[in-house]
Structure 1
Amino acid sequence: MKIRAYTTLALAVSMAGLASCGNSSDTTLSTPTSGNTNISVDESFQPILESQVDTFEGIYERANIDAAYKPEGEVVKELINDSTRIAILSRELTPEEVATIEKNKRIPRTTRIAVDAVALITNPNNPDSLLTLDEVKDIFNGRVKNWNKLEEDTKLGDITIVFDNNNSSTARYVRDSLTTDKKLPQNTFAANSHQALIDYVAQNENALGVIGVNWISDLDDSTAVSFLNKIKVVGISKDPAPLTTESFYQPYQAYIAQQAYPLRRYLYVISTEGRTGLGTGFASFLGGDQGQRIFLKSGLVPATMPVRVVGLRN
C-alpha cells in the first residue's frame, strides 16, 4: 500500500510539473498545426492579420490562435516579458531588446513577411491632396502649420495632425523617418483608434491623418471601402519640384512594390518560441505560399512573391 501511494503521488507531481512547463504562448500539446497559442500584433495590421488567423484556423481545425491587437510599444514589451512568443511588428528588434530576450535564454528569430506603407489622408473637402516629400517633412517638423503655406488660394486654416495612438508604429515611423529631432510638432493629436481617426478626418477639413495602408488597401473588405468613401488619400512625390501630377504616387500596391511611393515600411514576424509549436507553424504559414497570397490580395506587397505590374496604353 505504501508503494502504491508513493507511485500515485509521484505520478501526480510529474503531471503537475508537465503542466507548469507550458506558458501563455507555448503549451505542452502544441504542434505546428494544432493546440493553443497567443500572438501579439501591432494594431496597424489588424485587418490583414485577422484574415490570416481566420484562414489558418479554417485549414487547421485543431489550431486556436488568440491574437491581441495593441500599439507597437505594448507588443514589444509583451515579447520581452515573455507574455507572448510570437509578435507581428513593422520593425526589427533593437540590439538592446535582443540582448534582453537572450539574457532570459530565448532566441528571437525575425522573418520579413510583407512590405507595407504609411498613408496620409485628408478631408474630402481639402483641395490639396498632392504633397511633395519635402512638404510632408516640413509639416511633421513643424515648419508648415497652415494649409495656406502649401496652397495660397485655400480657405483652410491650421493643420491638425492625427495619429491612431501616441505609442503606435505609425507615430514611431514618422518620428524616425520624417523628423530631424525625433519629435512630433505641437499640432499633433491621437484619436485612440483607427475608426476614430477616420471619423475625425472625415469631419474636420483641416485634419491630416496618418494611418497604416492596410486599413484602406483591401477593396474586397467592406470596412476598408467604407473608410475610403469618407476620406481622400494623399499622393506624394519624391521630386521637390514636380512638373506634372504624374510624379505623385498614392500607396497602391504596384507603387509600393516599385518603390515609387516613398513612405514604405516592412512587416515582420518575430518568434521566441523554444521549440516547433503552433506559433512557429503560424509564422511559417505567414511566410509561405498561402500566407503570401493573402498579403497580395489585401493590397500589401508580399515579401517572397513577385507582384505583377500591368502597364496600360491608350
Structure 2
Amino acid sequence: MIKHLLWLGGFLTMLFGCTNEATKLDNPARGTITVAADESFRPLVTQLTSAYAGIYPDAHFKIVFRPEQEAINMMLRDSARIAFTTRTLKPNERGVLNQLKIKGSTTKIATDGVALIINRANTDSLMTMNELQRLFLGQIKDWSQLKGGNQSSPITLVFDNNNSSNLASILTKFNISDVSKLRIFTTRSNREVIDFVRKNPSALGFIGVNWISDGDEPLTAELSRDLRVVGVSDKPNPTQRSDYYQPFQEDLGMLRYPLRRPVYVLSREAHPGLGGGLINYVARDAGSLIIYKLGLWPTIPYNREINLKKS
C-alpha cells in the first residue's frame, strides 16, 4: 500500500511539474524574450517591439543592440530568441541549429539601405558606384578626385563599428576583404557617426537609413540637421542628376538605389511563442505600416480595404 502511495505521489509530482514547466513557456501574447539586433536597426526594432507590447501588455522584450555578427551569435547560443539582421545564416551557422535539432526560421521583412551622409558644408553630394568602389580599393583618397569635387581634403570613411552591418554590406557589395590601408574611423553607434559627420566636412558617413527616414519623428529632423544625403548612381557615366538615387522609400522599393539591402528576422524558436508572434505582426500585419512609416519598403504591404459607396 505504501509503495502504491509513493508511486502515486511521484507520478503527481511529475505531472504537476511538467504542467508548471509548460505554463512557463511564452506564447504570442505573453512572456519575456531577448531580441538581438544590429545597431543600425535601432529605430526600426524599437518602434516595432514597442507597438507590439502596446497591443499585448504582458509581452516584454529585452532588446540588445550589437554588431550584426554578435547579434547572430547571441541567437545561435540561445542568448537571444530572435535577431534582426541584413543576411541569412551561413552554412556553418545553420549547422549549429541543426545539431540542436532546431529548425528555426528566416523571414524577410523589409528592404533597407545604407545611407551615405556628408556635412552640409560639403556640396559633393553625388557619387557613382564606380567611384565608391575605387574609394574602398584605395584608388580614390581625396574629395578632389571625385567627378565635380569642390574641395581638396582626404576622405574619412566613418562607420559605427568594425563589425557592423553597414561596413559588411559595403565590403560584400564590392568583394573587398582588406581595409587596413583605408582611412576609416569607427564610432560606437549610428548616432555617433551622424555627430562626427556633422562636425567634420571631410567625412563620409555610412548609416542605416531608418535613422533619418521617419518624417513624422522629431528625432529624425534633429539628426538630419546640417547633413546632406549622397545620391548614388550605378551608371558608369551619369549625365544628369536624375541618374542618381537616394536611399528613400520609393527608390528602395523600385530597386533603384544601388546600396539597398534586405532586413531579416532570424529565429531559433521551437514552439509557438512570443518571437513568432512578433514576426507575424511585423511581416504580415500592421507592423508593415510601421516599416512603411519609417521610410523602408515592407516585404508584404499592409492591405487596406476601401469601401466606395454610390451617393
Determine the C-alpha separation between the residues in 2 that align with 1:190 and 1:263: 20
2:239 equivalent in structure 1: 243
Root mean square deviation of aligned Cα: 2.4
1:140 maps to which of 106, 121, 136: 136
Q: Which amino acid aligns with 1:226?
A: E
2:225 equivalent in structure 1: 229
Q: Which amino acid aligns with 2:204?
A: L
Q: Which amino acid aligns with 1:182?
A: S
Per-residue displacement from partner, 1:117-140 (whole Å, max 9, x unpaired)?
A: 011111111121001111111112
Residue segments in structure 2 that go unaligned for 5+ positions in a row: 304-311
Determine the C-alpha separation between the residues in 1 that align with 2:165 and 2:125: 23
- Find out whether 1:171 has 2:167 as its counterpart: yes
- Find out whether 1:103 has 2:99 as its counterpart: yes
Per-residue displacement from partner, 1:246-293 (whole Å, max 9, x unpaired)?
A: 111111100111111100100011111111011111111111120111
- Find out whether 1:66 has 2:66 as its counterpart: no
1:267 maps to which of 263, 266, 275: 263
- Find out whether 1:213 has 2:209 as its counterpart: yes
Within 5 Å, which residues of 2 pair with 1:116-131? 116-131=112-127
**TM-score after normalising by structure 1:** 0.89
Determine the C-alpha separation between the residues in 2 that align with 1:18 and 1:153: 69
2:273 equivalent in structure 1: 277
Determine the C-alpha separation between the residues in 1 that align with 2:145 and 2:15: 72
**Which secondary structure state, in structure 1, belongs to the residue aligned with residue 48 of structure 2?**
helix
Per-residue displacement from partner, 1:67-103 (whole Å, max 9, x unpaired)?
A: 2111101111111111122111111111111011111
- After alignment, is 141-150 or 5-14 more displaced? 5-14
Query: 2:124, 2:148 within 8 Å by CA — same for their partners in 1?
Result: no
**Which secondary structure state, in structure 2, belongs to the residue aligned with residue 66 of structure 1?**
strand
Within 5 Å, which residues of 2 pair with 1:183-202? 183-184=178-179, 185-202=181-198
**Which secondary structure state, in structure 2, belongs to the residue aligned with residue 167 of structure 1?**
coil
Determine the C-alpha separation between the residues in 2 that align with 1:137 and 1:90: 20
Determine the C-alpha separation between the residues in 2 that align with 1:84 and 1:124: 39
Q: Which amino acid aligns with 1:264?
A: R
Determine the C-alpha separation between the residues in 1 that align with 2:87 and 2:249: 20
Determine the C-alpha separation between the residues in 1 that align with 2:220 and 2:161: 19
- Find out whether 1:47 has 2:24 as its counterpart: no
**Which secondary structure state, in structure 2, belongs to the residue aligned with residue 217 of structure 1?**
coil
2:289 maps to which of 293, 297, 304: 293
Q: Which amino acid aligns with 1:137?
A: Q
Query: 2:105, 2:266 within 8 Å by CA — same for their partners in 1?
Result: yes
Q: What fraction of aligned residue pairs are identical, expressed as a percent?
A: 35
Per-residue displacement from partner, 1:40-75 (whole Å, max 9, x unpaired)?
A: 112111101111111101111221122211110111
**Which secondary structure state, in structure 1, belongs to the residue aligned with residue 198 of structure 2?**
helix
Q: Which amino acid aligns with 2:223?
A: F
